[in-house]
Amino acid sequence: NAGVMQNPRHLVRRRGQEARLRCSPMKGHSHVYWYRQLPEEGLKFMVYLQKENIIDESGMPKERFSAEFPKEGPSILRIQQVVRGDSAAYFCASRITHHPDYGYTFGSGTRLTVV
Amino acid sequence: AQTVTQSQPEMSVQEAETVTLSCTYDTSENNYYLFWYKQPPSRQMILVIRQEAYKQQNATENRFSVNFQKAAKSFSLKISDSQLGDTAMYFCAFMITGGGADGLTFGKGTHLIIQP
């Protein structure tokens, strides 16, 4: 079991470009969560998805950010027209079920640098 | 809204010593979970220990234990017989149960350094 796979591990984008971050959850996990970690900060919840559905996007900026988790393939976090303030580590976590007794498994994150 | 506060940005102890990391939280909810996560330099978030708020007994996992004081909204982590591999950032986290969003709310972390 390969765990939660995120790629790329590092991503450099110029201001105004698009960033696409990918997350493949653990096998059998249909619940995916995205978090953002700014320097010297803890992780901040962004969005919660199940297959083909966005369940909660209350932590996602209203503009430029979007997320999807298609029926086939990885979950994608997309940031359009990136700005310097988007520079952060973005983590994906997955769970097998919504039930709180089942814990999260985190990936190793994608570090986005906007230059 | 829930908040999690970790008041110690950095701590340093000698190998084999015991160290306690503090965490307080604020919520009006009654049903929730609390967690401690470890983030080594590899960046991966690793679950250390979990506590259900409805359980009075403190959780224990080998060298790691918690002191959960629900009335005081305090959730400290004790690491006994500390090892060099314990060096990492430690994050306290909170999760509401029973409907609605169930994302985690994290504190800002404590950087723990174990000295040889």
Residue with the bigger pLDDT between B1 and B25: it is B25
Lowest pLDDT segment from A12-16, B20-24, B48-52: B48-52
> Which class for B1: exposed (0-12), middle (13-18), buried (19 or more C-beta within 10 A)?
exposed
Contacts of B55 (CB under 8 A, 6+ apart): none
Regarding beta strands B74-79 and B64-69, do their DSSP bridges make them parallel or antiparallel, or are they unpaired?
antiparallel
Size of chain B, expressed as the number of residues it contains: 116
Nearest by Cα to A44 from A86, A75, A90 = A90
pLDDT-derived band at A1, boundaries 50, 70, 90: low
| pLDDT top residue among B87 and B41 | B87
* Pairwise CA distance, residues A23 & A25, whole Å: 6
pLDDT at A36: 96
pLDDT band at B10 (very low <50, low <70, confident <90, very high): very high
Q: Which of A31, A43, A44 to mutate to test the interface with B (most CBs of B within 10 A)?
A: A43
CA distance B62 to B71: 26
Residues 55-114 of A with CB under 8 A from B: 55-56, 58-59, 89, 91, 93, 98, 100, 103-104, 106-109, 111
Candidates B100, B103, B107; nearest CB to A42: B107
B69-74: long-range pairs with CB below 8 Å, 24+: B72/B24, B73/B24, B73/B25, B73/B26, B73/B27, B74/B22, B74/B23, B74/B24
* pLDDT of res. B101: 57
List strand residue ranges (DSSP E) for A8-52, in order.
10-13, 19-24, 31-37, 43-50
Q: Are A89 and A36 in contact (CB under 8 A)?
A: yes
Q: Which distant-in-sequence residues (6+ apart) come within 8 Å of A115 by Cβ?
A: A12, A13, A14, A15
pLDDT score of A51: 86
Residue A26 structure tokens = 């653990």
Among B70, B80, B67, B79, CA closest to B110:
B79
Measured between CA atoms, how close is B48 to chain A, in angstroms? 11
What is the predicted pLDDT for the residue at A28? 87
- Percentage of chain B with pLDDT > 70? 96
Average confidence score pLDDT of chain B: 92
Write down the residue that tokens 């002191």 correspond to.
Answer: B67
pLDDT in tens, B60-111: 999 999 999 999 999 999 999 999 999 999 999 998 876 555 678 999 999 9
